[in-house]
Amino acid sequence: MIDSLYDTAGGKDIVVVALYCDFLAQQKQTTTSMLGAILKQLAVIQGIPEYMQRAFQKSKIWFDGQGLRLPDLVKIMKKAVTARPRVFICIDGLDESTPKHRRELLKSLREIIRVSPNTRLFLTGRPHVRGEIMKCFGNVVQIPISPTPDDIRSYLEKRLESDTDPDAMDDGLRADIMRVIPEKVSEM
Amino acid sequence: MSSERQRVTGDFNPFNLLTNYDNIVDFGTTVDPWWREFLPWLSQLEPQQRHQGVRTSRLNGIGNWVLETKGFRKWSGAEDGCAEQVLFCEGNPGVGKTYLR
């Protein structure tokens, strides 16, 4: 999705930043580390403005290099997104973060996009987080994702090409696979 | 302190940039050592690594229909101040949300 946004929206004026939530990394993925990872991507794109350098220096001198606190991080991110004509923030697998971090993350993102009407948020997750997202943002475009029969056929073709035991395959079996699996999966 | 730390390359995809910072030796460029301290301070997470993995294992063309939906076009469209700033793709585990191209 990230790469498509670059291809379709094109040009230097857009920035796409992204984050993958990971169930196995819940300990490390706190609200501040997740937002920080997004800010890091904005920072390498636009260079580090003076206010960010100052925050860093201050933390080194006074707080033993400790990272930014959430309210400061949100404040800095607001400045960073409004400095660009268009920012897409993509977050994959929201259901994989803990409910507490997710709640804080969504709330912070809401504050951030509110000050920058050109900023867009792309979220993915299992259906059970839909309620939280709707409640937080109100106006949301929803797209249910399920693979189309064509998607499944492309995938099968690819897998069959890289079959490690090609001798066990014949045309009849191949035809059956290509017919039955897309049908069955689409019915799910 | 210099007023602003400049970007290093002309690339505008942050994932490419951050990957380049990781493999700086391969690229033969010198990066201001200040960045090496600053970036991990912002966050220890490195989503660019996961992105590289997704990039190499996804298949072209799969899920492209999402880009053609009315909802997606409206959301990504050029009209500023469009009412919907948020797009949510929902699906059960394994349907391919991560691998949308």
How big is chain A, counted in residues?
188
Domain that holds residue B95: 61-101
Burial label for A188, CB within 10 Å (0-12, 13-18, 19+), is exposed
Q: Which two tokens stand for residue A67?
A: 């990272």
Tell me the mean pLDDT in the region A98-118. Answer: 94
Domains and CATH numbers, chain A: 2-137 (3.30.370.10), 149-187 (no CATH)
In angstroms, the separation between the Cα of residue B50 and the nearest Cα of chain A is: 7
If asked whether residues B50 and B72 sit together in one domain, one would say: no
Q: Can you state the percent helix, strand and coil of chain A, rounding each to 5? A: 60, 15, 25
Asked if the ipTM is above 0.90, the reply is no
**Rounded mean pLDDT of A148-165?**
76
Is the Cβ–Cβ distance between A12 and A83 less than 8 Å? no
- What are the backbone dihedrals phi and psi of residue B37, each rounded to the nearest 5 degrees, phi first? -90, -35
B23 lies in some domain: yes
pLDDT tens for A171-188 read 888 888 878 877 777 665
- pLDDT computed for residue A159 by the predictor: 77
Report the gap between the CA of A167 and the closest CA in chain B (Å).
25
User: Which residue, among A21, A22, A84, A145, would best test binding to B if mutated, counting the most B CBs under 10 Å from its CB?
Assistant: A145
Pair B49, B26 in one domain:
yes
Q: Are residues B41 and B66 in the same domain?
A: no
Number of domains into which chain B is organized: 2
B100 lies in some domain: yes
CA nearest neighbour of B14 among A78, A34, A12, A82 = A12
Closest residue to B101, CB basis, from A4, A45, A92:
A4
Whether residues A39 and B7 touch (CB distance < 8 A) is answered with no
Interchain pair B43, A47: CB under 8 A: no
B7 belongs to a structural domain: no
Q: What is the mean pLDDT of chain A?
A: 84
Does residue B27 register a pLDDT over 50? no
- List the B86-90 sheet strands across, edge first: A14-20, A86-92, A120-125, B86-90, A140-144
C-alpha–C-alpha distance, residues B18 and B97, integer Å: 23
Q: CB-based contact (8 Å) between B27 and chain A?
A: no
Q: Within this chain, do residues B67 and B33 fall inside the same structural domain, yes or no? A: no
Q: What is the pLDDT of residues A12-39, one digit of tens each?
A: 677 888 888 887 787 888 899 999 999 9
pLDDT at B25 over 60: no
In a domain, B69, yes or no: yes
Could you give the CA distance from residue A56 to residue B93 in angstroms, rounded to a whole number?
A: 39
Q: Are strands A86-92 and A140-144 parallel, antiparallel or unpaired?
A: unpaired
Same domain? B24 vs B44? yes
Q: Which of B18, B43, B90 sits opposite A44 (nearest CB)?
A: B18
Q: If you measure CA to CA, which chain B residue comes closest to A73? A: B42
B51 with B68, same domain?
A: no
Residues B67 and B84 in one domain: yes
Contact list, B50 vs chain A (CB under 8 Å): 20, 22
Same domain, B76 and B99: yes
**Is B9 inside any structural domain?**
no
Do the domain assignments include residue B2?
A: no
In a domain, B49, yes or no: yes
For residue B24, being part of any structural domain is answered with: yes
pLDDT on residue A12? 61
User: The whole model's pTM is what?
Assistant: 0.76
* Range 51-80 of B in CB contact (< 8 A) with A: 51, 54-55, 59, 61-63, 65-67, 69, 71-72, 74-76, 80
- Between B16 and A114, the higher pLDDT residue: A114
